[in-house]
Amino acid sequence: MPQLSMRDAINQALHQEMERDPRVIVLGEDVSGGAGGTSGQREASGGIFGVTKGLLPRFGAGRVIDTPISESAIVGAAAGAALAGLRPVAELMFADFVGVCMDQIYNQVAKFRYMFGGKSACPVVIRMAMGAGMNMGAQHSQAIYGLLTAIPGLKVVVPSNARDAKGLLIEAIRDDDPVVFFEHKALYPRKCEVPEEPFRVRFGEASLLREGADATVVAIGRMVVFAEKALDALAKEGVSCDLIDPRTTSPLDEETILESLENTGRLVVVDESPPRCSVAADIAALAAGRGFGSLKAPVVQVTAPHTPVPFSPALERAYVPGPQRIEAAIRQVLGRNR
């Protein structure tokens, strides 16, 4: 099976879905780039992270649309096109730019199907790059999937690896509901085996990445990579844990988490967002409610602090929940603190 980076896996999914379904279009800032430039080179960019490379030459400017820097118009136009029968994939470049177009997402896209009494599907996918770790500062680094997860009507996807990213994006494009698709910038170059043919990863189906008896670790997006490192370190001490990647935060696969918790009795949740009203808090509440009878110890949440993302590497390193903090949290839930 070929090894693909997450960037290339998403790119492949976009190619395959546009090939399969002429209703799929892509729009956003610099998705091809070069329009109105002086070099005459169309597709001068292929997306700021190179994720949409090759789409313009293959599918043309009618379906691969470079937009001005106008996030509200990007999302709104994608939604309108969806209401009129297309299946748009809008790109917001950085997830932080959701702030500019929140009305189109929150008051428009998310509500159509319900508010119009089920008359309208709004099959739009909104892709965006998220996450800290690249010293991009407070307005280019946030992990805001929790914010979007709180909105009824949206589905929210946060892949942790290339294979899932491909299958989840294909599912997102084929889904009749609006889907917000978060791509962690630090995961773009990371490779794994990805099937060549199109395939779907169903929403609301978590992935059980490791099995173990001592605790349940639920990690989201890039935090999965760090949780694996922490578990590798703890394995040397004979500690073994279930590692669960929910893959979609809305819908959330509650059953997989609760079943694991039944076996281990201990839960650590790792979330790159700040702690309040977060996905971590949401999963902890699940454990405190339906999972209460299984709990042998208080749930431990590993999150960013309740601050904006700092710029300086010295501070950002401390901001991002890393393997060491996860390792410490697992020790804590096991009562192994020194």
Residues known to be catalytic? 140
Torsion of CA 24, 128, 256, 204, to 10 degrees: -30
Task: With contacts defined by CB under 8 A, name the span among 2-10, 60-68, 151-159, 322-330 that binds another protein.
Answer: 60-68
Whether 204 and 251 have beta carbons less than 8 Å apart is answered as yes
Q: Does 251 bind another protein (CB under 8 A)?
A: no
Q: Does 62 bind another protein (CB under 8 A)?
A: no
Q: Does 314 bind another protein (CB under 8 A)?
A: yes
Q: Which of 3, 107, 312, 324 binds another protein (CB under 8 A)?
A: 312
Whether 221 and 280 have beta carbons less than 8 Å apart is answered as no
Q: Which of 2, 57, 115, 134 binds another protein (CB under 8 A)?
A: 134
Q: 87 by DSSP, 3-state: which?
A: strand
Q: Which of 23, 44, 153, 332 binds another protein (CB under 8 A)?
A: 44
CA 138: distance to chain centroid?
Answer: 19
- Per-residue x/- mask for another protein, residues 138 to 177, rule CB under 8 A? xxx-------------------------------------
Q: Does 315 bind another protein (CB under 8 A)?
A: yes
Q: Which of 20, 202, 276, 296 binds another protein (CB under 8 A)?
A: 276
Burial level of 141, CB count in 10 A (0-12/13-18/19+)? buried
Whether 207 and 247 have beta carbons less than 8 Å apart is answered as yes
Q: Does 38 bind another protein (CB under 8 A)?
A: yes
Q: Does 319 bind another protein (CB under 8 A)?
A: yes
Angle, alpha carbons 322-325-330 (nearest 5°):
125
Task: With contacts defined by CB under 8 A, name the span among 64-72, 105-113, 154-162, 285-293 that binds another protein.
Answer: 64-72
Give the bridge partners for 234, in sequence order.
Answer: none
Q: Binders of another protein among 221-240, rule CB under 8 A?
A: none
Q: Does 91 bind another protein (CB under 8 A)?
A: no
Q: Does 70 bind another protein (CB under 8 A)?
A: yes
CB of 311 to another protein, least distance (A): 3
Q: Does 39 bind another protein (CB under 8 A)?
A: yes
Task: With contacts defined by CB under 8 A, name the span among 44-52, 158-166, 205-213, 327-335 that binds another protein.
Answer: 44-52
Whether 113 and 120 have beta carbons less than 8 Å apart is answered as yes
Task: Give 25-57 as a DSSP string.
Answer: EEEETTSS--TT-SS--SSSSSSTTSTTTTHHH
Q: Which two tokens stand for residue 255?
A: 């059953």
Q: Does 50 bind another protein (CB under 8 A)?
A: no
Q: Does 73 bind another protein (CB under 8 A)?
A: yes
Burial level of 283, CB count in 10 A (0-12/13-18/19+)? buried
Whether 4 and 198 have beta carbons less than 8 Å apart is answered as no
Which stretches of the chain bind another protein, using CB under 8 A?
Answer: 29-30, 33-41, 44-45, 48, 66-73, 96-97, 99-100, 134-140, 275-276, 305-308, 310-315, 318-319
